[in-house]
Amino acid sequence: MKKVTILVMALAIAMAFATTAFAKNGLSVDFGIGYNADMAGMGATILNDGEEGTNGTYLGANADVLISQKDAKILAANGATTGISNVADAGTMGGVCLNLGVRYDILNLLWFKTGFNYDVNIASEQSWNATDGATFNGKVKQTWTAGYMAIPIMLGLNLPIQDGKYNVYAGVGLDIFWGYWQVEVSAPGNYITGIAAAFKEKAKLETMGVGIHYTLGFDMEVIKNLYVFVEYDVVQAGAISDKVNLGDPTSGTDAIATGLGTPYLYYPVNVSKSTFKFGVKYHIGFGTI
């Protein structure tokens, strides 16, 4: 409700400064790009929490199978005891947000929009050297990736300034989305209790559903019918993942299943985000009302 109030206030302010009320009605297409600093909302897990297992690692029972960047550095600070050294990390999963939109303006005020949104992340890779001083000595890697695709269906208000040379607009709607996050782990044998051989495994958690989408934007005509825009987008979406089959935790070969102590995994896939987008819009004007 608070976000809706902010959008209404912004439109009211823009209306107060509007010199005319004639917008460019009809069809337009746009392309935008933005940045999401924490894709899939996994920043807290990557940086601070990690993921505990039943069997754990060589560090002990119930030790984190997925070690956070914070804990890796703490363990490395006491490397003579823990056997962890040379920690490297890349922060959270940042991602590039791309969108292609088709918008239809009518009655100098209302607009409808749909399109395709695609977010692709810049992988976050953690690594360190680990040894127990006897049975293994090697590099451990945790590589995190995520993705998001959505079809937005939105309705909004547009307030033109100077016959539509400038426009302030806001809208709300739904995102029909699919999203995932994935972690790939590689480590030497005996790093995870019960796994004798070196391994490289991944677990992918994905889901789909419908989320809420708000937007507030401003555009400006730079040459005839060609606009540049900036938008603030808020998406609230997510769900528990589909069931992931990790394998047999007693097999001696399925490392992630063995470390977590379960053959199956469910986990939240949170694709909510707040982003600024910049882009260009071309006004076609076909089918004006």
CATH number at residue 236: 2.40.160.20
| Confidence band of 164 (pLDDT split at 50, 70, 90) | confident
Residues 198-214 have a mean pLDDT of 95
User: Does the structure show a pLDDT above 60 at 61?
Assistant: no
For residue 266, give every residue at least 6 positions away whose Cβ sits within 8 Å of its Cβ, in sequence order, or none. Answer: 205, 240, 241, 243, 244
Contact 4, 172 (CB under 8 A): yes
User: Does the structure show a pLDDT above 80 at 57?
Assistant: no
The predicted pLDDT at position 157 comes to 97
In a domain, 55, yes or no: yes
In a domain, 148, yes or no: yes
User: How many folded domains does the chain comprise?
Assistant: 1
In a domain, 289, yes or no: no
| Identity of the highest mean pLDDT range in 37-46, 74-83, 271-280 | 271-280
Cα(170)–Cα(12) distance, integer angstroms: 11
- Domain region containing 261: 2-283
In a domain, 203, yes or no: yes
Q: Pick the more confident residue, 139 or 2.
A: 139
Around Cβ 9, how many Cβ atoms within 10 Å?
A: 11
In a domain, 288, yes or no: no
Cα(156)–Cα(181) distance, integer angstroms: 31
In a domain, 194, yes or no: yes
User: Does the structure show a pLDDT above 80 at 260?
Assistant: yes
Residues 242-256 have a mean pLDDT of 92
The predicted pLDDT at position 52 comes to 78
| Confidence band of 171 (pLDDT split at 50, 70, 90) | very high
Q: Which two tokens stand for residue 216?
A: 């507030």
The predicted pLDDT at position 2 comes to 53
Give me the sign of the Cα torsion angle 44, 49, 55, 60: positive
Residues 192-205 have a mean pLDDT of 92
In a domain, 231, yes or no: yes
Q: Pick the more confident residue, 73 or 63.
A: 73
In a domain, 276, yes or no: yes
Integer CA distances (angstroms), 157 to 41, 62, 67, 136, in order: 30, 54, 47, 63
Q: Which two tokens stand for residue 27?
A: 């069809």
Contact 151, 221 (CB under 8 A): no
User: Does the structure show a pLDDT above 80 at 138?
Assistant: yes
Average pLDDT, the chain: 88
User: Does the structure show a pLDDT above 60 at 289?
Assistant: no
pLDDT in tens, 4-18: 455 544 444 444 444
